[in-house]
Amino acid sequence: MPSAIDKTTGTSTSVLQEGSPHRSRRASLKVLNRNIHQVVLGDQLFDAWYYSPYPDSIILPQPGDGSTAADARNGPSHGHLSGYHSSIRGQEPICPFLYVCPCCFRYTSLKQQFIQHVARHRHLRSQNLEPDQPVPQSAFKVYEWEGHAVWEIDGEREKLYCQNLSLFGKLFLEQKSVFFDTGGFKYYVLTYTKPDISTSPASATAKTRAQKQRSTSANTGEEDDSLYRTRVLGFFSKENLSWDSNNLACILIFPPFQHRQLGQLLMAVSYKLSGWEWEGGVIGGPEKPLSAMGRRSYLRFWSERIARFLMGQTADADAKRVFDNANADGNGRNRKTVLLRKEEMTVKEIGDRTGMLAEDVVAALTEMGMCNVMAPKRKKAKSSTPEVNGTASASLAHAAEIDPEELATVVIHRSKIVEWAEKNGVDLRSPVKEEGFLGEWALSDLAESDNGSQNASGEEGSDA
């Protein structure tokens, strides 16, 4: 992400200046400068990217702190200046630091208030009056695997938490527009929990070290990291009722945790939660139009999803492989061959098996650049007119037409998929584990019983 500070002059500039790829394509949209310079999220400090409509009572300089709103804006004071209007004027951010609670995402521009607020969370947790997870108590866990968990939060029931999360997310999303009307949305928050030191061989030593750290922090005023054992890494939201069958409205991985394939994980979870593999489920995709960054991310995700499906991995709903493997070539040599389960599939069939819209399937195949389009067949019309001076052949040529039932065919070679995957460093394993889904999204008992019967039959055969 480009810096908002000109390193040559040291002056503040807009991250949405002319020529920036992050600038909105809509010419009528006024570009707002950042109103917040840096964010303190718990024990982490990083830059804000975009404007977010935090209340002026929070981000504007307060009376008695040695500055005024006019001083901050470097202009004359005509009553109360709105952060919205002042941000249009192209001045530097009016709030140097915004302190955000890592547990509830409440915010303040005063460091002392932030310290007191975080201390209250520690006290409540020590008294078992607050859950250890940085999500509301009503949150429902829908996925958990190797420390990562996804929690479903009702935007109507937990309005304050979701509003705070939306305001924080807008600092890093250019086109997000829903901040306060969260009632029609569900939020899915991604968290990561560090491994429990009590389960490690050196647990006694680790506990002793932790006690010393707590003692030191009590004497020096420094904070221990017990509050940060579980962190919020990002989130996505989706409408409860989408007329366009969208399975995702917005998605964000916080800047300190980006470039770890966590966005791919959330995208995969969003497709799973849409229930497209069940009767009555919805085949959909993200809300469009996508931003430039969002389109790049989704093209990558769609391409990998289709590659896993066509390579016979369990990327499709019913976990059936498209390819069957055989180990004999008829000459006694142990060679692995691939037999197509189905030679021809329509784009819609691929979409049905992967939960993707047909337009997204086409976009992904085009992005992968592995399609060889074959022209549709033509049928020749019979002519009852005898050939005179070679005119019959010409008339036949004009009479030739495309059979409306014959559509253009796209040939996809498995070798090209392998080549594309190796070139782009694609892991053909899914970013999510089916075993990690909980509740109604967990693996069905029927599927488990089928697997159990297959394993039993395999064991009987091996005993023979």
Distance CA 134, CA 314 (A): 33
Catalytic, out of 92, 158, 287, 304: 287
- pLDDT confidence tier of residue 201, bands split at 50, 70 and 90: very low
The answer to whether 222 is a known catalytic residue is no
Q: Provide the pLDDT for residue 295.
A: 93
Task: Write the DSSP string, 125-137.
Answer: HHTT-S-SSSS-T
Percentage above 70 pLDDT, the chain: 61
Q: Nearest Cα to 83, choosing from 74, 75, 73? A: 73
Decide if 252 contacts 236 (C-beta within 8 A).
yes
Q: Provide the pLDDT for residue 375.
A: 59
Query: Average pLDDT, stretch 183-195?
Result: 94
- pLDDT confidence tier of residue 63, bands split at 50, 70 and 90: low
Decide if 136 contacts 431 (C-beta within 8 A).
no
pLDDT by residue (tens digit) across 113-163? 999 999 999 999 988 888 889 999 999 999 999 999 999 999 999 999 999
Q: Provide the pLDDT for residue 296.
A: 94
Distance CA 379, CA 405 (A): 11
Where is average pLDDT lowest: 7-16, 191-200, 310-319, 345-354? 7-16
Cα–Cα distances (Å) from 151 to 133, 144, 236, 263, 303, in that order, read 10, 9, 10, 15, 27
Query: Average pLDDT, stretch 286-313?
Result: 89
Query: Average pLDDT, stretch 6-24?
Result: 41
Whether 109 shows a pLDDT value over 80: the answer reads yes
Q: Where are the beta strands (DSSP E) in 163-284?
A: 185-193, 230-239, 246-248, 250-253
pLDDT by residue (tens digit) across 241-289? 888 889 999 999 999 999 999 999 999 999 999 888 777 788 999 999 8
- pLDDT confidence tier of residue 427, bands split at 50, 70 and 90: confident
Q: Provide the pLDDT for residue 282.
A: 84
What is the set of domains in the chain, with CATH numbers? 1-130 (3.30.60.60)
289 upstream amide cis, omega within 30 of 0: yes
Structure tokens at 404: 């409306």
Comparing 129 with 209, the larger pLDDT belongs to 129
Helix ranges restricted to H, 83-197: 83-88, 111-126, 159-170
Whether 200 shows a pLDDT value over 60: the answer reads no
- pLDDT confidence tier of residue 446, bands split at 50, 70 and 90: very low
Average of per-residue pLDDT values in the chain: 73
Strand-pair category, 246-248 with 230-239: unpaired
Decide if 250 contacts 294 (C-beta within 8 A).
no
The amino acid present at 125, given as its one-letter code, is R
